[in-house]
Amino acid sequence: MPYPANYRYTREHEWIELTGNIGAIGITDYAQNSLGDIVYVDAPKVGDPVTTNASFGSVESVKAVSDLFSPVTGTVTAVNEELKNAPDKLNEKPHETWIIKVELADPAELNALLDAAAYEAFIAEES
Protein backbone atom coordinates (compact mmCIF):
# COMPACT_ATOMS: atom_id res chain seq x y z
CA MET A 1 0.00 0.00 0.00
CA PRO A 2 1.46 3.38 -0.98
CA TYR A 3 2.21 5.97 1.66
CA PRO A 4 0.64 9.28 0.56
CA ALA A 5 3.25 11.87 -0.20
CA ASN A 6 1.26 14.72 1.31
CA TYR A 7 1.11 13.02 4.75
CA ARG A 8 3.73 13.21 7.48
CA TYR A 9 4.61 10.20 9.64
CA THR A 10 5.87 9.33 13.12
CA ARG A 11 8.26 6.59 14.15
CA GLU A 12 5.34 5.24 16.22
CA HIS A 13 3.49 4.63 12.93
CA GLU A 14 0.89 7.40 12.95
CA TRP A 15 0.23 9.61 9.96
CA ILE A 16 -1.06 13.18 9.88
CA GLU A 17 -2.64 15.04 6.98
CA LEU A 18 -2.78 18.79 7.33
CA THR A 19 -5.68 20.82 5.93
CA GLY A 20 -5.36 24.45 6.93
CA ASN A 21 -4.70 24.39 10.62
CA ILE A 22 -6.43 21.04 11.17
CA GLY A 23 -4.53 17.78 11.17
CA ALA A 24 -6.26 14.43 10.59
CA ILE A 25 -4.43 11.62 12.41
CA GLY A 26 -4.52 7.90 11.65
CA ILE A 27 -2.30 4.84 11.74
CA THR A 28 -0.21 3.54 8.89
CA ASP A 29 -0.67 0.42 6.85
CA TYR A 30 2.47 -0.96 8.49
CA ALA A 31 0.92 -0.44 11.93
CA GLN A 32 -2.40 -2.10 11.12
CA ASN A 33 -0.57 -4.96 9.50
CA SER A 34 1.60 -5.72 12.49
CA LEU A 35 -1.32 -5.33 14.90
CA GLY A 36 -3.68 -7.61 12.98
CA ASP A 37 -7.47 -7.38 13.10
CA ILE A 38 -8.33 -4.26 15.02
CA VAL A 39 -11.29 -4.77 17.32
CA TYR A 40 -11.45 -1.55 19.30
CA VAL A 41 -10.32 2.06 19.15
CA ASP A 42 -10.01 4.11 22.31
CA ALA A 43 -10.07 7.74 21.25
CA PRO A 44 -10.19 11.01 23.23
CA LYS A 45 -13.17 13.40 23.30
CA VAL A 46 -13.66 16.54 21.29
CA GLY A 47 -12.00 19.38 23.18
CA ASP A 48 -9.35 17.20 24.80
CA PRO A 49 -5.78 18.41 24.49
CA VAL A 50 -3.16 16.24 22.82
CA THR A 51 0.59 16.61 23.18
CA THR A 52 3.40 15.74 20.82
CA ASN A 53 4.73 12.22 21.47
CA ALA A 54 2.19 11.63 24.24
CA SER A 55 -0.44 8.90 24.11
CA PHE A 56 -3.92 10.08 23.10
CA GLY A 57 -5.60 6.71 22.95
CA SER A 58 -5.06 3.15 21.85
CA VAL A 59 -6.00 0.58 19.25
CA GLU A 60 -6.63 -3.01 20.21
CA SER A 61 -6.44 -6.29 18.43
CA VAL A 62 -7.63 -9.49 20.07
CA LYS A 63 -4.40 -10.04 21.98
CA ALA A 64 -2.53 -6.73 21.84
CA VAL A 65 -2.96 -3.10 22.74
CA SER A 66 -1.02 -0.39 20.99
CA ASP A 67 -0.84 3.17 22.27
CA LEU A 68 -1.55 5.98 19.84
CA PHE A 69 1.00 8.78 20.01
CA SER A 70 0.16 12.24 18.84
CA PRO A 71 2.44 13.67 16.14
CA VAL A 72 1.55 17.21 17.26
CA THR A 73 0.29 19.35 20.11
CA GLY A 74 -3.21 20.76 19.84
CA THR A 75 -6.88 20.31 20.62
CA VAL A 76 -9.17 17.55 19.38
CA THR A 77 -11.82 18.99 17.06
CA ALA A 78 -13.38 15.76 15.78
CA VAL A 79 -13.44 12.06 16.58
CA ASN A 80 -14.23 9.45 13.95
CA GLU A 81 -17.40 7.98 15.45
CA GLU A 82 -17.62 5.41 12.66
CA LEU A 83 -14.77 3.47 14.24
CA LYS A 84 -16.91 2.62 17.25
CA ASN A 85 -18.86 0.11 15.21
CA ALA A 86 -16.43 -0.48 12.40
CA PRO A 87 -12.87 -0.57 13.75
CA ASP A 88 -12.00 -2.84 10.82
CA LYS A 89 -11.90 0.30 8.63
CA LEU A 90 -8.43 0.84 10.06
CA ASN A 91 -7.40 -2.51 8.61
CA GLU A 92 -9.11 -2.05 5.29
CA LYS A 93 -8.28 1.53 4.45
CA PRO A 94 -5.68 2.69 6.97
CA HIS A 95 -4.59 5.76 5.04
CA GLU A 96 -8.13 6.95 4.38
CA THR A 97 -9.40 6.39 7.89
CA TRP A 98 -8.60 9.14 10.34
CA ILE A 99 -9.07 8.58 14.06
CA ILE A 100 -9.08 12.15 15.35
CA LYS A 101 -8.74 15.62 13.96
CA VAL A 102 -6.66 18.14 15.84
CA GLU A 103 -6.32 21.88 15.67
CA LEU A 104 -2.58 22.42 15.76
CA ALA A 105 -0.96 24.76 18.23
CA ASP A 106 2.08 25.08 16.00
CA PRO A 107 1.88 23.87 12.38
CA ALA A 108 5.64 24.14 12.15
CA GLU A 109 5.79 20.96 14.24
CA LEU A 110 5.16 19.01 11.06
CA ASN A 111 8.65 19.78 9.89
CA ALA A 112 10.02 17.48 12.56
CA LEU A 113 8.05 14.50 11.20
CA LEU A 114 9.05 12.00 8.54
CA ASP A 115 7.95 12.37 4.95
CA ALA A 116 6.71 9.34 3.04
CA ALA A 117 10.12 8.37 1.69
CA ALA A 118 11.79 8.68 5.08
CA TYR A 119 9.03 6.68 6.72
CA GLU A 120 9.25 3.92 4.16
CA ALA A 121 13.00 3.75 4.72
CA PHE A 122 12.33 3.61 8.46
CA ILE A 123 9.91 0.70 8.26
CA ALA A 124 12.16 -1.14 5.83
CA GLU A 125 14.79 -0.97 8.57
CA GLU A 126 12.31 -2.03 11.28
CA SER A 127 11.20 -5.16 9.47
Partner 1 sequence: MTTDAMIPARATTGKVRSHQTQNEALLFEKSSPGKRAYKLPPLDVPAVDAATLLGTVHRTTPGELPELSEIEIIRHFTRLSTWNYAIDLGMYPLGSCTMKYNPRVNELVARIEGLAEAHPYRPDSLAQGILEVIDNLQRCLLEITGMDAITLQPAAGAHGEFTGILLVRAWHESQGNPRKKILIPDSAHGTNPATAAICGYTVENLKSNSEGGIDLEALTRQVDEETAALMLTNPSTIGVFESQIAKIAEILHAKGALLYMDGANMNALVGKARPGDFGVDVMHLNLHKTFSTPHGGGGPGSGPVACKAFLEPFLPIPVLVRNPQTLGAPSFPRSSAERVGDHEPQPAMQLGWSYNRPNSVGRVRAFYGNVGMFIRALAYILANGPDGLRQTTEDAVLNANYIRAKLEDIYELPYKTASMHEVVFSDKLQAARGVKTGEIAKRLIDYGFHPYTVSFPMIVHGALMIEPTESESLEELDLFIAAMRAISREVEETPELVKTAPHSTRVSKLDEVQAARKPILRWKRTT
Partner 2 sequence: MRYLPKSPAEREAMLAEIGAASIDDLFAVIPAEHRLKHDLNVPRAHAESEIIDYFRAAGTKNATDYASFLGAGAYRHYRPVIIDSLIQRGEFLTSYTPYQAEISQGTLQAIFEFQTMIAELTGMDVANASMYDGSTGAAEAVMMAVRVTGRHKAVVASTVHPEYREVLATYAKHQGLPTALIGYDAETGRLDLAALEAKVTEETAAVLVQSPNFFGVIEDIPAIAAIAHAKRALLIVSIAEAISLGVVRPPVEADIVSMEAQSFGVALSYGGPFCGVIAAKEQFVRQMPGRLVGQTVDSTGYRGFVLTLSTREQHIRREKATSNICTNQALVALMATIFLSVYGKEGIRELAEHNLAKANYAAQTLSAQPGAKLLFKGAPRFHEFVLQTEEAPAAWSQRLLDNKIVGGIDLSRWYPELQNCTLWCATEIVTRANIDTAAKVLAAWPVEAL
Alpha-carbon distance values, 47 to 4, 5, 14, 104, 109 (Å): 28, 29, 20, 12, 20
Which residue lies nearer to partner 1 by CB, 46 or 84? 84
What is the nearest approach in angstroms of partner 2 to the Cβ of residue 71? 22
Which residue lies nearer to partner 1 by CB, 92 or 106? 92
Work out whether 62 is an interface residue with partner 1 (CB under 8 A).
Answer: yes
What is the nearest approach in angstroms of partner 2 to the Cβ of residue 97? 20
**E strand or H helix that includes residue 78:** strand 74-79
Q: What is the DSSP string of 16-57?
A: EEEETTEEEEEE-HHHHHHH-S--EEE---TT-EE-TTSEEE
Which residue lies nearer to partner 1 by CB, 31 or 113? 31
Alpha-carbon distance values, 1 to 17, 33, 95 (Å): 17, 11, 9
Residues 8-47 that bind partner 1 (CB under 8 A): 37, 39-40
Which residue lies nearer to partner 2 by CB, 52 or 58? 58
Stretch that binds partner 2, among 4-12, 13-21, 62-70, 101-109 (CB under 8 A): 62-70
Q: Which amino acid is at 86?
A: A
Contact residues for partner 1, defined by CB under 8 A: 37, 39-40, 60, 62, 87-88
